[in-house]
A = this chain, B = another copy of it.
Amino acid sequence: MTETLVQSGSKSALIGFDHPFCVIGERINPTGRKILNEELERGDFSRVQADALAQVAAGATILDINSGAVFSNKMAEDVRYADNNFVEPTLMRELILKVQEVTDVPLCIDSSVPGALEAGLEVAQGRPLLNSVTGEEERLEAVLPLVKKYNVPVVAISNDDTGISEDPDVRFAVAKRIVERAADHGIPAHDIVVDPLVMPIGAMGTAGQQVFTLVRRLRSELGVNTTCGASNISFGLPNRHGINNAFLPMAMAAGMTSAIMNPVALPVSAKKIAEKKAAVLAAGIILPEDMDDEAFVQLFGMGSTHARPGKEMEAIRAANFLTNHDAGGAAWIKFNKTPGSDDSGGGRGRRGGRRRRG
């Protein structure tokens, strides 16, 4: 069965039909993370390293490294910084070296700049995953030779020069064409991980079904592994975790083998702690003067001041079990031995109960 081998200098991650779902941590990405972007501009990689460790602790087996920063201050001094072809190769190199200092999980080199992809390939140990090629002609020509030269697997996103089609048959055809073009370069299908593109379910009611159908077709007709930006499905909706927690098991049941996602439940924010304290005091509760934030949030059921695995990881681990990638449930039982997990019973085995009588 199809297996995509991703490696660091010392560790392997297998993406495949016969393996547990592969979680690719998405946090090391300055896009939309203003503070991280500013830190990177100042050459501060402390948060990057902390994010790497937190994601691995939460269950990521591959870390995505995205170099898409915008260095506005440097841009004001030196116009070259307005060009990501100038910024990203250097930044990608630095990001990878800093992450490799603290963890040895395999990496996913993520950039829309071919020069950054190659810079990453030069310094990443082992056999990283390249992210990404698309069906756009220019991108095919730039990326596939790199994939071949460095003998690495690649994420293939199913859009092309006409954009992202809302028609899943067109997105399948684009994926098929990328696989064929890769074959022309001598790249086997098992080294291509297709992202069928997840649309927001709030905007398109068929978005979920499109993904499930595409994943099944990509698996059975092209024999390729699949991935996605999982949180896109819940974009713009209330209770995004609720949607994500159902989406991931459904996609896994359809045969999805990996996702680029956030495995970490972020710590309770200082703002939320302050709000809760105000509500607690307003209710007439008197707190001991020496109570620290961690004790406070734990007693008041707010989670933790430390990063923990997110609810999505619980859904993935349960779905691994339900797709027979945790026979006997050892991994599930271990996961649920962490403090604060919900250990209460579900139902009572109704059917079994009744039948004993019958």
Contact = CB atoms under 8 A, between A and B. Distances in A.
A48 interface: no
B250 A198 contact: no
A355 B241 CA distance: 23
A82 interface: no
A110 to B, nearest CB: 8
Nearest to A284: B288
A323 B210 CA distance: 9
How many subunits of this chain does the assembly comprise?
Answer: 2
Contacts of A355: 112, 164
A231 interface: yes
B351 A232 contact: yes
Interface string A102-118: 00000000101000000
Contact of A322 (B32, B66, B208, B260): B208
Interface in A94-148: 110, 112
A246 B322 contact: yes
A354 B202 contact: no
B247 A314 contact: no
Contacts of A68: 354, 357
Given A253-B254, A302-B301, A29 B350 contact: yes
A315 to B, nearest CB: 5
21 contacts: A33-B348, A197-B351, A202-B329, A212-B253, A230-B347, A238-B336, A238-B343, A239-B341, A239-B342, A242-B315, A242-B317, A242-B341, A243-B318, A245-B245, A246-B321, A246-B322, A247-B249, A249-B249, A250-B319, A284-B288, A301-B302
By Cβ-Cβ distance, the 3 closest A-B pairs, closest first, are A301-B301, A231-B347, A240-B346
